């Protein structure tokens, strides 16, 4: 998996208004292509961490100054926090 796959999500979040942003899984897939099955099944896939190689997708939202605030797998939606500066980003 390459970080570049999630660059369109990064750009979208950078261009979005500064407040919270809610996206459906379908909207995210329109930006980056198909999400892995883990995105729909495992809450941890949306973790706000970039340690190791398993969470390259998190770099997209963290580098855009956002974090995943909540994930509703039943509704297939993700809410990202308002944009903010992160120490060490």
Q: pLDDT digit string (tens) for 8-38?
A: 999 999 999 989 999 999 999 999 999 999 9
The dihedral region occupied by 22, where left means phi > 0, alpha psi between -120 and 50, and beta the remainder, is beta
How much of the chain, in percent, has pLDDT values that exceed 70?
88
CA distance linking residue 75 with residue 3, whole number of Å: 26
59 near 9, Cβ under 8 Å? no
Can you give the pTM of this predicted structure?
0.87
The pLDDT score that the predictor gives to residue 1 is: 42
State the CB neighbour count (10 A cutoff) for residue 10: 21
């Amino acid at each position: 998996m390459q970080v570049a796959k999630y660059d369109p999500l990064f750009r979208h979040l950078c261009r979005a208004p500064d407040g919270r942003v809610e996206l459906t899984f379908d909207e995210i897939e329109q930006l980056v292509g198909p999400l892995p099955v883990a995105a729909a099944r495992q809450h941890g896939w949306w973790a706000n961490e970039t340690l190791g190689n398993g969470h390259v997708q998190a770099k997209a939202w963290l580098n855009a100054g956002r974090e995943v605030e909540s994930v509703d797998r039943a509704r297939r939606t993700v809410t990202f926090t308002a944009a903010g500066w992160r120490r060490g980003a």
